[in-house]
Every structure is written in structure tokens, then in C-alpha cells.
Amino acid sequence: MLNKGEIVAIWLDIFETVNIKRKYQILNAYKLPEELFKNFKKDARMFESFLDSNIFSKMSYALDADFINKQVVEYNKMGVELVTINSKDYPKLLKEVATPPLVLYCKGDLKLLNTECLAVVGTRRATRYGKKVTENFTKTLVHNGFTIVSGMADGIDTQAHETALAEDGKTIAVLGGGINELYPSSNITLGKTIAEKGLLISEYKPDQKPAAFHFPIRNRIIAGMSKGVLITEADLKSGSMHTKEYALEANRDLFIVPGNIDSPQSLGCNAVIKALQGCMVTAPEDILEVYGKTNNYKEFVKQNNFQLSLDEQVVINCLGSEEVHYDELLDKTNLDTKTLNSLLTTMQVRGIIKKLPGNLYSI
């Protein structure tokens, strides 16, 4: 059963023609939700400067607990749960931003809303470098207890979510449309997986289609609910630059990975580092140090390495943290072709290494 504070938040959220600042103006006009229920219909003059008589009449009519409860039941039948600004599950950090959403429409594990979250975002046009950096950082972050928050866009966002899931970590996707309108279409399967193993959230009603202007606005949620924001690769016009601004406004930690100075996809990251040099990170340990954590993932890798054969360890040592061509591995390992090919195949199957385009290999 909803409390009156939750009902008021859901009631205000119904009216899309009233902007969120006006909604907070209405909400803050009364000390208690009970007072709003009792007095709103007779207080028309208080709001006539920004509510015309037609919308005021509609809002007065809809201010009914039974009506709101019935709507919530319909959402629940879709598998959608509503968390309002007045609900106990609402993310505590998100309340600190200037205009937090009155209602979050959610599908998945609500407990993740108040876990230790860190945002990982970046360009939609990710390079192999950007994806690899994102994978390496995300692996370490999830193995150190962070819930990864991102926007489920193509490129870096997708890599962050997929890595978190592959590592049995937790992830939250903040959408630019309703959670029944998963976008982009290439990520519909990913979205369904996140709903099952993590959490989808949106401030938009479940069947609302995404619009271009939604995405910059939703970025305040990504930054607001996270302790820090990591941008692994971004161009100057990337939406991640909006997320960066929201992070600074909300006094969140900002972490930027530098990139190739000739790469357009790294121009945004490199520009931010020039302006805010203290935000640069070159290894996950730089982030862990800020939060007083040790690298549990490195210990995990070490433990797995004890199970490697001598020849497999030779291959790992040659790879290090780089992408290495097959011919270079053949030269450095001093193994014959048949032995090396067999090792590489076995190590791929075990998930120890990856084969990349161009006959390159990496851990």
C-alpha cells in the first residue's frame, strides 16, 4: 500500500505538460502530503501564475488515492515497480541533484538502487582501445563491490554493462525512454538480461518512446546516483560530456582515461584532462585508492594463474596488458607453431585470453 507521500509524487508525475521545477513548486508549497490532499483544490490562486485552469482542473480530478493505486497495480502487472522521491528505496545520492526525478520506473533488483554505484560511460563510436580499457576497468570495479551504472547506449555503455554481467557483477541501466521501449534495438537482449540480473530504471513512463532530448536529461540520474563517474573514451560532442557536467555539479568524483591524441574518439577525454588534470586515471587502482579499496580482482587473477601450465604462463607473460600479434607470440615464446596454436585455442576456450581481429591476442 502506498503512503500519501508516494501517491502525491506519482500524481504529479502524471502531468507531462507541467515541468519538473513547477511540480516541485507545488510539492514544496505544503509541509506535508496530507495538507496537499486537503487544500490543493481550493488553492487555485497559489498556482494560477503557471497552471492554467484546464490543467489545474485535471490535476484536481486526478488527486485521488484510489485512482493512483489502480494505476500502480496496472504497472505492477507489467512487471514494473515505481519508486518515488518519498519511497524508502529511492537512491539517497540521487536526492542530492537539483531536480531529482519524482518517480523512477524500475524493472529488476530494487536493492541495487542504494548499493555502492560507479558510473562508466563513453562514446557510442567506441574503438577497440576504448572497449578494452572499459572492460579492464569494469572487471576490477565489479570485483571490488561496485554496481556499474551506465546508459545502455552503443559502444562504451554496452561494453560496461556486458562486462559487469560476464563477471557476475551488478549493473544498472538508466534509459532515455520507457523500460518497455528498449533502445537501441541492438540492445534489446542486453536490456532483458539486465532486467533479470540487474536493474533497468527510467524517469519516463514504461511505454514512452525515447527522444533525442531525453538522453542528456537522463544523464543527471547516471551521475547523481553514483559516487563517481568514469569516462573511458569520449569525443568532444559525446553525451558523456553532459554526464561530466552533472558529475561536477553534484560534487561527484570524476575519473577520465586519456587516449590517443590522434583519435577523434578521445578528444573529449583529453580536453577534460587538460582542464582538470587531477581527474586522470590510467589504471583501476587509481579509482580504488580514492575509495580505500585494494584490488581484489588482481588477487583473483593471481589465484587463477596458479592453475596455468608452464607454457600457458609463458604466453600470459608475453601478453601482459597489451594486444600482441600471433607472429610476435611465436617469436617471444619460442614455441613451435603446433604447440602455440593448441595453447591459444585451449586458453580461449577457458576464457583466459581473447583472440581479436587482425590475428591479435590479449588477456
Main-chain phi, psi angles of 78, to 5 degrees = -80, -5
Q: Are 268 and 245 in contact (CB under 8 A)?
A: no
Q: Are 333 and 315 in contact (CB under 8 A)?
A: yes
DSSP secondary structure, 134-193, as one string: HHHHHHHHHHTTPEEEE---TTHHHHHHHHHHHTT--EEEE-SS-TTS-SSGGGHHHHHH
Euclidean distance between CA atoms 124 and 215, whole angstroms? 13
CB neighbourhood size of 18 (10 A): 19
Cell, residue 155:
559502444
β-partners of residue 148 are: 118, 171
Low-confidence ranges of the chain (pLDDT < 70): 297-307, 320-321
Euclidean distance between CA atoms 316 and 305, whole angstroms? 9
Going by the DSSP 8-state scheme, the letter that residue 3 receives in this structure is -
- Confidence (pLDDT) at 276: 92
Main-chain phi, psi angles of 36, to 5 degrees = -65, -45
Q: pLDDT for 326-352, tens place per residue? A: 988 988 888 888 889 888 988 888 778
Q: How far is CA 41 from the centre of its chain?
A: 40
Cell, residue 81:
515497480
Q: What percent helix, strand, coil does the chain show, rounded to 5?
A: 50, 15, 35
- Confidence (pLDDT) at 305: 53
- Confidence (pLDDT) at 302: 61
Query: What is the DSSP pairing of strand 117-122 with strand 147-150?
Result: parallel
**Through-space distance between the first and last CA atoms of the chain, rounded to whole angstroms:** 51
Alpha-carbon radius of gyration of the chain: 24
- Confidence (pLDDT) at 358: 86
- Confidence (pLDDT) at 321: 62
Going by the DSSP 8-state scheme, the letter that residue 280 receives in this structure is B
- Confidence (pLDDT) at 300: 61
CB neighbourhood size of 104 (10 A): 27
Plot region of 145 (φ>0 → left; ψ -120 to 50 → alpha; else → beta): left
For the chain, list the domains and their CATH numbers. Answer: 1-77 (no CATH), 110-294 (3.40.50.450), 308-362 (1.10.10.10)
Main-chain phi, psi angles of 76, to 5 degrees = -60, -35
> What are the C-alpha distances in Å from 278 to residues 25, 247, 257, 282?
38, 15, 11, 12
